[in-house]
């Protein structure tokens, strides 16, 4: 197929929740995200709304596959229709172009069915929609006897739209679905270097939620490389959700204090509680409406139902855990599809592995945990304040 013939894309998006005033917000957020996605590829594009639809027009040479790849990262898009558009140079010329179009775009025609779906938006055009359907249908049957007509369930639906110019399209490349980022507030993702949390961020962003992130590192127990890995993961997720404000919090002193003063089998769970507390603090300061983690029930000791209860207890913001019911393999499959897997499996240690106990509690008791946390009373407020004061903000984008 000659992909150079396409100079425009019609963007299809779900109609649910796109009524009234919401429609305009939805479309504007969608166009903003499309522009963001296209900025990272070669070529100049115009993203605009016309006749209540969203179009992407190429204003320069561009790589078709790259453009489709970028559009596939934009939540809210359900279908991407590559379009050929032509000046109106009369019906005979249009016939020639359509014959040519079908030959190039649908080279495998044997035994396939089609239907012509013409729409005359410009009422001054000399032929009515039904006439165009009949004439072009006949023409294609003559030119390509291997094709058959099926008006109910055609393999090829050939759209011809007569507007100022004439649009021809027949393919719908599936988009990612979801809702445009920016239509549903903002959440704070606890992003570690693992497989699960980038997937969790992706899934929440897919519902239209803008994502900020927080990463806890513990130098020198965790390396600069481990931090770079998290920055890279944030960059990969930002391909879908737009720029991410990544808050890097130095967790070393808090971790050491817990290590020194609390039972070792409770280290992870107590650490997790302080991570959530700090994350929530930053979330509130940055107008996030919830926290997001990559937790999945039973995956490790700190993610049993009992552990999740204890972790959750420190938060008042809702905590969203989109991986909660997934098996590891299901999470891996998503991470492969969205392109974060290869980075996630790079071997740099994360801040938990250093301090992991041999036999962490799997059924922590909230009262006991709280009692042991009192061992930190003298130091913890100062340490938390220091951690917040020294946070590093990195703005990450694809
Ligand atoms: P992941 O694959 O996302 O790292 P995991 O299976 O390693 O998850 P845990 O280490 O138990 O699981 O972490 C559970 C969740 O806690 C993570 O998904 C993440 O949201 C959060 N988390 C863990 N460690 C950190 C960290 N160092 N910084 C920020 N968030 C973290
Ligand atoms: Mg982890």
Q: Return per-residue pLDDT of the chain as tens, 398 residues.
A: 667 889 999 999 986 657 677 888 899 999 999 999 999 999 999 999 987 789 999 999 999 999 999 999 999 999 999 999 889 999 999 999 999 999 999 999 999 999 999 999 999 999 999 999 999 999 999 999 999 999 999 999 999 999 888 999 999 999 999 999 999 999 999 999 999 999 999 999 999 999 999 999 999 988 999 999 999 999 999 999 999 999 999 999 999 999 999 999 999 999 999 999 999 999 999 999 999 999 999 888 889 999 999 999 999 999 999 999 999 999 999 999 999 999 999 987 655 556 777 788 999 999 999 999 999 999 999 999 999 999 999 999 98
198 C-alpha vs ligand 2 centroid, how far in Å?
Answer: 10
CB 85 within 8 A of CB 162: no
Q: Does 221 lie in the same domain as 168?
A: no
Residues 17, 117 within the same domain: yes
- Find the domain containing 332 and state its range: 186-396
Q: Does residue 74 share a domain with residue 132?
A: yes
* Nearby residues of 215 by Cβ (< 8 Å), 6 or more positions away: 190, 191, 192, 227, 230, 234, 246, 247, 248, 249
Residues 166 and 268 in one domain: no
How many Cβ atoms from other residues are within 10 Å of residue 99's Cβ?
A: 16
Contact 210, 200 (CB under 8 A): no
CA of 225 to the centre of ligand 1 (A): 17
Coil vs helix vs strand at 15: coil
Please state, in angstroms and rounded to a whole number, the distance separating the CA atoms of residues 97 and 149: 20
Say yes or no: 45 and 112 in one domain: yes
Assigned domain for 163 exists: yes
Q: Virtual CA dihedral for 58, 64, 66, 70, nearest 10 degrees?
A: 60
List residues near ligand 1 (CB under 6 A).
Answer: 190-192, 194-197, 214-216, 275, 293-295, 299-300, 302-303, 350-352
For 139-207, give the DSSP string: HHHHH-TT-EE-SSS-SEEEEEEESSSEEEE---EE---SB-TTSS-EEEEE--SSSHHHHHHHHHHTB
Q: State how far the Cα of 265 lies from the Cα of 269, in Å rounded to an integer.
A: 9
Q: Per residue in 203-239, pLDDT tens?
A: 999 999 999 999 999 999 889 999 999 999 999 999 9
Q: Which protein residue has the closest C-alpha to ligand 1 atom 21? A: 190
CATH of the domain at 18: 3.30.2130.30
**Closest by CA position to 135, among listed 162, 155, 153, 109:** 162
Pair (32, 79) in one structural domain: yes
CA distance 368 to 329: 34
My answer on whether 53 and 119 are in the same domain is yes
Residues 195 and 168 in one domain: no
Domain boundary among 128, 151, 174: 174
How many other CB atoms are there within 10 angstroms of residue 174's CB atom?
A: 11
Q: Are residues 150 and 285 in the same domain?
A: no
Instruction: Let me know whether 194 and 128 are in one domain.
Output: no
Classify residue 34: in a domain, yes or no.
yes
180 inside domain? no
> Does 242 share its domain with 144?
no
CA of 193 to the centre of ligand 2 (A): 6
Total domains, the chain: 2
What count of Cα atoms within 13 Å lies in the side-chain half-sphere of residue 237? 37
Residue closest by Cα to atom 10 of ligand 1: 352
**Res 354: pLDDT:** 60
144 is a domain residue: yes
Are residue 43 and residue 87 in the same domain, yes or no? yes
314 lies in some domain: yes
Q: Where is the domain boundary, 174, 200, 220?
A: 174
**Could you tell me if 4 and 106 are in contact, meaning their C-beta atoms sit under 8 angstroms apart?**
no
Residue-wise burial string across 57-95, b where 16 or more C-beta atoms lie within 10 A, e elsewhere: ebeeebebeebbebbebbbbbebbbbbbbbeeeeeeebe
């Amino acid at each position: 197929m000659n992909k150079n013939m396409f100079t425009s894309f019609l963007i299809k998006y779900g109609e649910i929740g796109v009524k009234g005033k919401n429609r305009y917000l939805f479309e504007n957020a969608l166009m903003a995200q499309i522009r963001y996605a296209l900025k990272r590829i070669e070529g100049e594009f115009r993203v605009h709304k016309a006749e209540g639809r969203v179009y992407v027009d190429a204003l320069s040479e561009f790589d078709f596959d790259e453009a489709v790849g970028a559009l596939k990262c934009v939540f809210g898009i359900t279908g991407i229709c590559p379009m050929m558009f032509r000046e109106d140079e009369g019906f005979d010329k249009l016939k020639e172009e359509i014959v040519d179009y079908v030959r190039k775009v649908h080279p495998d025609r044997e035994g396939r069915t089609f239907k012509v779906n013409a729409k005359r938006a410009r009422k001054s055009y000399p032929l009515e929609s039904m006439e165009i359907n009949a004439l072009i249908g006949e023409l294609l049957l003559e030119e390509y006897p291997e094709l058959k007509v099926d008006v109910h369930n055609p393999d090829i639906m050939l759209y011809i739209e007569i507007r100022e110019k004439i649009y021809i399209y027949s393919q719908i490349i599936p988009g990612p679905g979801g809702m445009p980022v920016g239509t549903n507030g903002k959440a704070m993702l606890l992003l570690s270097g693992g497989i699960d949390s980038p997937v969790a961020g992706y899934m929440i962003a897919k519902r239209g939620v803008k994502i900020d992130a927080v990463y806890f590192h513990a130098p020198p127990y965790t390396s600069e490389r481990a931090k770079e890995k998290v920055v890279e993961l944030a960059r990969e997720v930002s391909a879908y959700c737009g720029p991410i404000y990544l808050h890097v919090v130095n967790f070393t002193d808090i971790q050491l204090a817990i290590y020194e003063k609390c039972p070792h089998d409770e280290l992870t769970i107590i650490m997790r509680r302080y991570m959530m507390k700090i994350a929530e603090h930053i979330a509130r300061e940055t107008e996030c409406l919830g926290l997001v983690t990559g937790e999945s029930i039973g995956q490790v000791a700190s993610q049993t139902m009992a552990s999740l209860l204890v972790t959750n207890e420190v938060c008042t913001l809702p905590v969203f855990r989109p991986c909660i019911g997934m098996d590891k393999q299901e999470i891996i499959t998503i991470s492969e599809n969205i392109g974060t897997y290869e980075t996630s499996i790079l071997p740099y240690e994360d801040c938990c592995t250093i301090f992991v106990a041999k036999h962490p509690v799997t059924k922590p008791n909230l009262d006991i945990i709280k009692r042991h946390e009192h061992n930190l009373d003298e130091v913890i407020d100062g340490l938390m304040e220091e951690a917040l004061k020294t946070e590093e903000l990195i703005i990450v984008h694809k």
